C-alpha cells in the first residue's frame, strides 16, 4: 500500500508549484498569508544583553546557569502541514471500488504530495479504533513517507472488535494539543460522530490554524437503497431494515440529509473549505476537479 501512495506523486507531477500555491478557491487564501499567529520559532538561547525584550527571557536556562539568558527566534520560512486522518470503525466500509479507509489514505497522499510540492513540512495524526499515531512535521519528505507507513499499517480491514464510538473527537483533541499556530491542517473523516465537543475543539483549532475538510463517504450514504432486507449492526445488536417499506425509506433519507447538513453547517460555521470524496470513484479525478487543478 505504501507503493500505491508514493505513486500518487506521478499523478500530480504535471501541476506546477505556482498553481499549487494559488489554491485560493479551496484553501481560502492559505497560500497568500504565510502563517497565522506569531510566525516565529525558537532557535537558541544566548546571554542577556541590555535592551533585550523582557518577554523573551529564558527562565529555565537562567535557573540552571544562574545567568540571565534570552530566547532568540527565527522567522519561520516553511509552513507546516498536518494530515489528520480519522479511521474510526465506520471508515472500514465500502460497497464498491474501495473502503472509505482506502479513500482516506488516497486523499492523504494527494494532499500530502501537493503540500510537499509547495515546500511545506509534512506530518500527520492517524487515529484508528485501537490506537493513534503521531508523525512530526519534517523538513524532508520523510514526514510524508512516515504518514504513508502508518496508513499502510492501519490497513483496509476492520478491527475484530470495533468500538461503536467514533474517534473523531479524540483526533481533534490531539490536533489541538500538537498543532502549532499557522499549521495547515488537512482533516479527513466521514464525520459520522459530530457533536457539541466536535464544535468546541474545532473552534479552538481554527483560531490559529488553517483547516481544510475532506468528507469521505460511500455513495449509498447519499442515494436511495434498492429494495431488500438489510442487516445492520448497532450498539444494541443486529437489526434488520426492510427497504421495501416506505416509512423505512423515508427514515433513512432523513438520516442521510441530516448528516450532510451537519457536516455543511460545521464547515460553514468556521468558514472551512469542504470537499466531498466518494470511495466509489477515482480519487485523483475528484481531487483535481474539486481543487480546480
On whether both 283 and 198 belong to a single domain, the answer is: yes
Q: Are strands 274-278 and 210-217 parallel, antiparallel or unpaired?
A: parallel
Q: What CATH number did the domain enclosing 139 receive?
A: 3.40.50.410
Average pLDDT over residues 80-90: 93
β-pair partners for 42 = 73
pLDDT at residue 54, rounded to an integer: 78
Give the model's confidence band at 28: pLDDT under 50 very low, under 70 low, under 90 confident, else very high: very low
Residues ≥6 apart with Cβ < 8 Å to 63:
none
On whether both 212 and 104 belong to a single domain, the answer is: yes
pLDDT surpassing 90 at residue 107: yes
Among 2-16, 136-150, 269-283, the range with the most confident prediction by mean pLDDT is: 269-283
Residue 24 lies in a domain: no
Q: Which of 108, 98, 91 is nearest to 146 (CA)?
A: 108
On whether both 244 and 181 belong to a single domain, the answer is: yes
Three-state SS letters, 153-204: HHCCCCCCCCCCCCCHHHHHHHHHHHCCCCCEEEEEECCCCCCHHHHHHHHH
On whether both 156 and 71 belong to a single domain, the answer is: no
β-pair partners for 74 = 41
Can you tell me the distance from the alpha carbon of 34 to that of 105, in angstroms, rounded to the nearest whole number? 27
On whether both 202 and 60 belong to a single domain, the answer is: no
Boundary (domain end) residue, out of 59, 75, 91: 75
Structural domain that includes position 48: 40-75
Residue 23 lies in a domain: no
β-pair partners for 122 = 81, 138
pLDDT at residue 25, rounded to an integer: 39
pLDDT at residue 30, rounded to an integer: 38
Average pLDDT over residues 131-148: 89
On whether both 277 and 157 belong to a single domain, the answer is: yes
On whether both 70 and 213 belong to a single domain, the answer is: no
On whether both 49 and 12 belong to a single domain, the answer is: no
Average pLDDT over residues 167-193: 93
User: Could you tell me where the DSSP H helices lie in 38-167?
Assistant: 59-65, 100-117, 142-154
pLDDT at residue 130, rounded to an integer: 83
Average pLDDT over residues 85-102: 92
Can you tell me the distance from the alpha carbon of 165 to that of 72, in angstroms, rounded to the nearest whole number? 45
pLDDT at residue 24, rounded to an integer: 41
| Lowest-confidence segment of 105-114, 192-201, 238-247, 281-290 by average pLDDT | 238-247
User: How far, rounded to the nearest angstrom, does the alpha carbon of residue 53 sit from its chain's CA centroid?
Assistant: 37
**C-alpha grid cell, residue 117:** 510540492
On whether both 162 and 178 belong to a single domain, the answer is: yes
Helix (H) or strand (E) holding 83: strand 80-86
Residue 33 lies in a domain: no
On whether both 56 and 115 belong to a single domain, the answer is: no
Average pLDDT over residues 27-38: 40
Q: What total of structural domains would you count in the chain?
A: 2
**Cβ–Cβ < 8 Å for 164, 129:** no
**Cβ–Cβ < 8 Å for 12, 114:** yes
Residue 90 lies in a domain: yes
Give the model's confidence band at 238: pLDDT under 50 very low, under 70 low, under 90 confident, else very high: confident
**Cβ–Cβ < 8 Å for 105, 186:** no
Residue 30 lies in a domain: no
Residues ≥6 apart with Cβ < 8 Å to 212:
26, 27, 30, 111, 184, 185, 186, 187, 272, 273, 275
Check residue 90 and report its DSSP letter: G
pLDDT surpassing 70 at residue 40: no
On whether both 209 and 228 belong to a single domain, the answer is: yes
pLDDT at residue 71, rounded to an integer: 86
Average pLDDT over residues 261-287: 95
Check residue 35 and report its DSSP letter: -
On whether both 100 and 57 belong to a single domain, the answer is: no
Residue 32 lies in a domain: no
* Average pLDDT along the chain: 84
Residues ≥6 apart with Cβ < 8 Å to 237:
none
pLDDT at residue 138, rounded to an integer: 81
Determine the number of helices (DSSP H) and then strands (DSSP E) in the chain. 10, 10
Amino acid at each position: 500500500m505504501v507503493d500505491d501512495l508514493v505513486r500518487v506523486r506521478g499523478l500530480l507531477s504535471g501541476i506546477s508549484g505556482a498553481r499549487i500555491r494559488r489554491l485560493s478557491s479551496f484553501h481560502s487564501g492559505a497560500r497568500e498569508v504565510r502563517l497565522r499567529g506569531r510566525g516565529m520559532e525558537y532557535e537558541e538561547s544566548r546571554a542577556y544583553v541590555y535592551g533585550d525584550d523582557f518577554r523573551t527571557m529564558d527562565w529555565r536556562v537562567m535557573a540552571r546557569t544562574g545567568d540571565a539568558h534570552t530566547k532568540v527566534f527565527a522567522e519561520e520560512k516553511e509552513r507546516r502541514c498536518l494530515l489528520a486522518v480519522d479511521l474510526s470503525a465506520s471508515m472500514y466500509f465500502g460497497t464498491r471500488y474501495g473502503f472509505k479507509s482506502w479513500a482516506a489514505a488516497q486523499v492523504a497522499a494527494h494532499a500530502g504530495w501537493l503540500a510537499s510540492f509547495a515546500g511545506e513540512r509534512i506530518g500527520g495524526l492517524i487515529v484508528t479504533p485501537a490506537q493513534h499515531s503521531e508523525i512530526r512535521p519534517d523538513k524532508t519528505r520523510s514526514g510524508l513517507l512516515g504518514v504513508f507507513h502508518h496508513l499502510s499499517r492501519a490497513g483496509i480491514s476492520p478491527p475484530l472488535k470495533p468500538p461503536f464510538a467514533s474517534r473523531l473527537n479524540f483526533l481533534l483533541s490531539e490536533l489541538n494539543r500538537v498543532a502549532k499556530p499557522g499549521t495547515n491542517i488537512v482533516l479527513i473523516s466521514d464525520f459520522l460522530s459530530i457533536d457539541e465537543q466536535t464544535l468546541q475543539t474545532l473552534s479552538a483549532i481554527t483560531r490559529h490554524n488553517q483547516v481544510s475538510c475532506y468528507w469521505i463517504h460511500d455513495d449509498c450514504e447519499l442515494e436511495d437503497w434498492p429494495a431488500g432486507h438489510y442487516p445492520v449492526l448497532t450498539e444494541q445488536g443486529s437489526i434488520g431494515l426492510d427497504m421495501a417499506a416506505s416509512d423505512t425509506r423515508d427514515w433513512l433519507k432523513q438520516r442521510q440529509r441530516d448528516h450532510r447538513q451537519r457536516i455543511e453547517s460545521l464547515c460553514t460555521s468556521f468558514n472551512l473549505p469542504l470537499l466531498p470524496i466518494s470511495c466509489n470513484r477515482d480519487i485523483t479525478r475528484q481531487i483535481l476537479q474539486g481543487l480546480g487543478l
